[in-house]
Structure 1
């Protein structure tokens, strides 16, 4: 498995946009595949916002993004590890953990002192095992979420 910047795999933009809207559209009901694709298309690999893709010889396995803002209700914290998505056929193989570690390492290279994410309660232990700590709990649209934080180690 390799992790590459999305800009190196632009052909996967439509499929990633569809997967993101399907997975995360509950929080953003007006979000369209076209909007998701446009957002992904504008990103660069060397700054925020950026997205990485895990791949192997069969194709893309998952993705993760580093964003300044992740949801209009939580603009007080930044930046965010966001849109962690692993294709169902690739789950349980460590793809998500590798993507999270890659994103945190890149944030450290960019000098980010604190990185945030939000997740549902069932995922808190998984993120704790990767070094994240709960920051606060809040309601985002229809979901009760835990905002978690990590201080990326400097390179």
Structure 2
């Protein structure tokens, strides 16, 4: 597995945008693939927002983003580990955990001391296993979510 900055693999943008809309579009019913692609194209290399891909010899396996804001209803916390996505063929192979660890390390390198994410209840134990703590529980649109946090560095 190789983790690369999305800016280094623009050929994957259309497929990644489509996967994101399919996976996360329930929270944003008016979100289109074109909008998702435009957001991914607006990424930066050494600043927030940024995104990374995991690749193998057959293409991309998954992605993760580091964003200032992830959803308009939860702007009180920032920044966010967002859009963690692993293709079905790569699930259970450690791709997601590698992407989460990479995003946390990159956030720390950018000076972020606390990073947030949100997920549904079944994923809470998985993130806890990676060192994340429950921060809050709330309703986000149609979903009951858990906001989690991790300290990326000690200031």
In the alignment, what sits opposite 2:112?
A: 112
8 Å Cα contact 2:112/2:153 also seen in 1: no
With normalisation by structure 2, the TM-score equals: 0.98
Q: CA deviation at 1:79?
A: 0.1
With normalisation by structure 1, the TM-score equals: 0.98
In the alignment, what sits opposite 1:133?
A: 133
Alignment length (residue pairs)? 154
Find runs of 4+ consecutive structure 1 residues off by over 4 angstroms. Answer: none
Partner Cα separation in structure 1 for residue 7 and residue 69 of structure 2: 20
In the alignment, what sits opposite 1:25?
A: 25
Helix, strand or coil: the match of 1:73? helix
Q: How is 1:1-150 mapped onto 2 (pairs within 5 angstroms)?
A: 1-150=1-150
Helix, strand or coil: the match of 2:81? strand
8 Å Cα contact 1:105/1:153 also seen in 2: no
- Structure 1, residues 18-69: CA drift from partner, whole Å, max 9, x if none? 0000000000000000000000001112110000000010100000000000
